Structures are given as C-alpha cells and as structure tokens.
Structure 1
Amino acid sequence: MAPEILLQLALLTLALAMFFVIHRLPKGALTKLRTKHRATLLSNRHFVQGSHLLDRARSTPHRIQSLNHAKSALLEAEKAVSLSPKDPAPHVLKAMALDLLGHKTSALRSLDLALSTPRVRSIVGKERGDALVKRAELKLGMNRKRRVDSAVEDLVEAVRLSENSNTRAYCLLGECYEWKGRKEEAREAFENALRVQPDSVAARHGLDRLSL
C-alpha cells in the first residue's frame, strides 16, 4: 500500500477517534472545561488590571492617590486569586499591593503561597528570583534576627535563578552576611553587585562599612 494512502488512513482514524471521544464526553465534563476556560480568562483580566493599578500606585507622588490605587489593585488581585487559586501570579500581585498598603505580614503570607509547591513550578527564572528577593526583604524588615537565615536561603536561590544579574539580591545578601559577621562573604556579595551594576550606591556603602 502506498505511503500516501497509509497516511490518509491514519489521519482518518485519528479524526474518527477524536469525534467519538468528544461526543462520548459527558455534558458535565464539557461544561466544566468551558467554565475553567472562562475562569482563566477572567482571572487574567483582573490580573492585568491589577498590575496597571499597582504601577500607578508606585508611580504617583501623592500618597493618598497611591494608597487608593494600591487598594484597587488589591481588589483586582483578590478577584484573580478567587478565580485561579493555583496560579502564583495573582498571589504575587496581592503581596505587592499589601506591601504598599503597609500590611507586611499578609504580604509575606501571599508570597509564601505563591512560592509554595506546586504553584512555584509555574514561576521560572528572573520572575521567581524577583519574588524571592521581595520575600527576603519582607522577612528582614519584619524580624531580621529570627528570619535572616531564611532570607539568605531565598537570596542565594534568587541569585542563581537570575543568572548572577540581580543587584538587589546581591546587596541584600551582603547585608545579611554583614549582620551575621561573615565579612568576607559580605564583601564578595557587594563586589558581585558592583560587577552587575557599577554605580550601585548600596553596594558601595556596604563595602565602605566593611572597610572601617
């Protein structure tokens, strides 16, 4: 039998199989698929809107307007979370809005959810690194003494994920090592920050402190 005929038969068989599978699916299963798709689209819409509001909250110089935008961003993030609770992105957005509003504990909790298994598998590379840096910042801001080791773990992983290009991660890592009395490791972290960003003021100040 000619190869062209075999190929046509294979395609016909596949089409028939797909036809029977679709028509044998229970109506409830099809409804569930449509509902899930609709929920994902709505979640993405709320996430995008919340991201725009968060940018406006960060950029406006007026505190009251900034807080109002942050509150609106939080509402959009919560809607996205309710529709797609397994998606880490809305949890990260929620954490950023909560942080701007001064709710550090709740912000940390949202980042913990975003970076928990299995959600964290959906965040890759620099995005995961940025989330880890933000979580480290919150940990250090809330209780440096108790959380510094946990923050170091986040920052080391952030540097690895960001391919050694995350200046903020290096600077925070240097501050952690400095606070723990590990001066050589702190110096190396600040020097790495300067390698990535030669005009980093935080890194320069860190090295100056270590030279005293």
Structure 2
Amino acid sequence: MATEVFLQVAILTLTLAIFFAIRHFPKQALTKHRIDHRATTQTQRHLTRATHLLSRAKSNPHKDQSQTLAKSAISEIEKALSLSPKDPTPHVLKSLALDLLGHKGSALRSLDLALTSPRSKSLAQRERVEAMVRRAELKLAVNKRRRVDSAVTDLEEAIRVSEEEGGVKTRAFCLLGECYELKGMREEAKKAFEEALNMERGSSVARQSLERLSLS
C-alpha cells in the first residue's frame, strides 16, 4: 500500500514538473527550435533536388543539357548552404557538380571545405572516406606532381578508417598505387595494387597496373 502511494506521488510530481517546464520554457528557445527545424527541412529539400539534378546530369549524354542540370543543382546547393552553412553535405554535392562542369580546382576547394574540422565530424564514416578518396582524385587531376604527397595522406587515412572491403577502398588502393608510381616507389605501388586486387578480383585497373609494373 505504501509503495503504491509513493509511486502515485512520484508520478504526480513528475507530471507537475513537466507541466511547469513547458509553461515556463523560454519562448526564445521554442522559437529557435522551430526556426532550426524549418531550416533543416528546407535544407534537406534543396539537397534532395540537387541530388536528383546531379543524377540526371551524370546520365545525360548531351554535354549542354548535362551542364545545365549541373548548374541547376548548384543553385539548389547554394540555397542549402545559405540555410545550413556548417553542413558538409552541400559542399560535397557542390564539388560533384563543379567537377561535372570541368571546374576541378573549384571542386577541390569545395571538398576542402567539407572536410574541414569541425564540419567533417557530422559526416558518416563512409561519406568521409568517399570524400577523402574523391579529394585525392581531384588533387591528382589538378596537379599530380605538386599534390601527390597530400593525396597519399588522404588515401592512407581513408584506408585506415574504412571498414568496408572493396568498393571505395579498392579505389583508394588503386589511387595509392598510382601515387607511389609517381613517387618512384615501385614496390609500394605493387603492394597497393595487389591489395586492391585481393579485395576485388575483377578490378581491371589493379590488374593492368600490376601487369604494367611487371613488364617495365
């Protein structure tokens, strides 16, 4: 009996405490919560549109139409950035759009922004790994000789933190092998390509690279 009374009193006390908290919760905090929620919803809406436009741009065989779609995607991404400037995802998508337009230097800068701390902390592990591998690709595309060491740093970190086998990790090992070749590190390059082939036996890039290295 005493236990039941105690539980009833406890429940009543908790109910009154919640009611009091709601009644006296600062209006500014409630308003901020509503604004933040609205901004997040609008940001996701713009990013969804941008992703759809980018998918269409990639699959469109006509260059003019593809570039028009990529530019429209950037317009949606810029709207998302104005609402959520600390979100790394718009920068990642913007990099993809800029690359489609042939602006590799600008695409690289967008990935740099996405991977800057603390912004990068909100990326999921796979997203971060993919961004680092993509950044390494862009570094090699923009200036292989000058950026090869920086690309190696990205790729080694991507391989270290990635938990998956194959896919993006295979690509990372292939790129690492290419970097080692550029640096004249033939044995390290072979090991990287062998790792890629062990993960994905169908990797033509890894197989052809190993054949080339064995013949030269």
**TM-score, normalised relative to structure 2:** 0.91
Q: Which residue of 2 aligns with 1:204?
A: 207
Could you tell me which amino acid in structure 2 is paired with residue 152 of structure 1? V
Moved more, 154-163 or 87-96: 154-163
The answer to whether the 8 A contact 2:53-2:72 is kept is yes
Q: Which residue of 2 aligns with 1:175?
A: 178
Provide the residue aligned with 2:121 in structure 1. 121
1:3 deviation in Å?
Answer: 4.4
Does 2:77 match 1:77? Answer: yes
Contact 1:178 1:186 in 2 (8 A): yes
1:53 maps to a residue whose letter is L
Find the residue that maps to 1:157 and give its secondary structure.
helix
Q: How big is the shift at 1:4?
A: 4.6
Cα distance per residue 1:169-201 (max 9 Å; x no partner): 111000001111111111111011111221212
TM-score by length of 1: 0.93
Residue in 2 aligned with 1:107? 107
For residues 175 and 3 of structure 1, do their structure 2 counterparts lie closer, same or farther at Cα, with a shift above 3 Å needed? farther
> In the comparison of the two structures, how many residue pairs are matched?
212
> What SS is found at the alignment partner of 1:86?
coil
> Is 2:34 the partner of 1:31?
no
Counterparts in 2 of 1:22 and 1:184: CA distance versus 1, 3 Å:
same
Which residue in the other structure is 2:54 paired with?
54
C-alpha distance 5-150 of structure 1, shift in aligned 2 (>3 A): farther
Q: Could you tell me how far 1:146 is from its partner in structure 2?
A: 1.7
Question: Residues of 2 paired with 1:139 and 1:6: CA distance?
Answer: 67
What is the letter of the counterpart of residue 148 of structure 1? V
Task: Tell me the equivalent position of 2:160.
Answer: 160
Deviating more after overlay: 38-47 vs 143-152: 143-152
Unaligned runs of 5+ in 2: none
* Amino acid in the other structure paired with 1:197: E
Letter in 2 for 1:190: F
Quote the Cα distance in structure 2 between the aligned partners of 1:107 and 1:192: 29
Report the Cα offset of residue 101 of structure 1: 0.9
Q: Write the distance in 2 (CA, Å) between the matches of 1:36 and 1:124.
A: 21
- DSSP 3-state at the match of 1:85: coil
CA-based RMSD of the aligned residues comes to 1.7
Amino acid at match of 1:127: E
Say if 2:180 is the partner of 1:185.
no
Q: Distance in 1 between matches of 2:5 and 2:68?
A: 66
